[in-house]
Amino acid sequence: MKRLLRALLAFVMLGSLAVVGTVATATTAQADGCYTWNRTLKQGHSGADVTQLQIRVAGYPGYGAELAIDGKFGPATAAAVKRFQQAYGLSADGVAGNQTYSKIYALQDNDCTPAHFTYAEMNRCNSTWSGGSVSAATAKQNALRAMWKLEALRHALGDRPLVTSSGFRSTACNNAAGGAAGSNHLTGRAIDLVGTPTFCQIVKQARYHGFNHILGPGFPGHNDHAHISGQATRRWSAPNCGI
């Protein structure tokens, strides 16, 4: 009888432990190999954690816009968070809390790249990210930011794989590829896409995901790939796609 009671007690204790564990999982986002947010972020906040958030939601700035990665959580960041939440079926309030962080953690690899893109495919030129028009560290950071926009574009196009043919280029690599002088490839921001979806589907959808520079079919030299990049002022040209 005593043994049975002890066993019953142990069972009950195990049960309550399991309940505690379940509750903790539901309310606390897991620590992440890349970056872990420690507070809920909303309009009015600023700091390095806002910058990290902005990088992850920069693919959701709205049509024809680019989100400033400035560490200040203003209306544009709130709107981007909201679009990110909507895109993944979360309750969309523009406030980044555990639900949003959990989604980001699920989407990112330990090197901080989004799940479906790698540094390697953003740099087929050299392993050092040097020789472009910005420092190697800046080029690599620009490529990371471009990848998060690509992840948003990929998701919007039905989670179909996107195939990159070129990303960062040193001056030597850019000259060898016949790239334009001053190309965004020299900064790590530009990406060339080939394969499927169609180039017109890509360039049209890219307008919603933070790419101010889009070149595609009908623009000289761009009938065999779609070129998308961030840049300060908008320049879109893909005449065969109606852009």
Q: Whose Cβ is closer to Zn ion: residue 37's or residue 168's?
A: 168
Nearest approach, Cβ of residue 159 and Zn ion (Å): 24
- Positive or negative: CA dihedral 116, 162, 51, 185: positive
Beta strands 213-215 and 191-194 are: unpaired
> Is 228 strand, coil or helix?
strand
Please identify, using beta-carbon distances, which residue of 97 and 210 lies nearer to Zn ion: 210
The residue from 45, 209, 213, 222 that is catalytic is: 222
Which are the contacts of 36, defined by CB distance < 8 A and separation ≥ 6? Answer: 29, 101
Q: Which stretch binds Zn ion (CB under 5 A): 7-15, 92-100, 155-163, 224-232?
A: 224-232
Tell me if 227 contacts Zn ion by CB under 5 A.
Answer: yes
Site for Zn ion in 179-208 (CB under 5 A): 190, 192
Q: Is 48 exposed, middle or buried (0-12, 13-18, 19+ CB in 10 A)?
A: exposed
Measured from the CB of residue 32, what is the shortest distance to Zn ion in angstroms?
Answer: 32
Helix (H) and strand (E) counts for the chain? 8, 5
Q: How far is the CB of 227 from Zn ion (least distance, A)?
A: 3
**167 vs 197, which CB is nearer to Zn ion?**
167
Is residue 116 annotated as part of the catalytic site, yes or no?
A: no
Q: Residues in the site for Zn ion, rule: CB under 5 A?
A: 190, 192, 227
Catalytic residues: 222
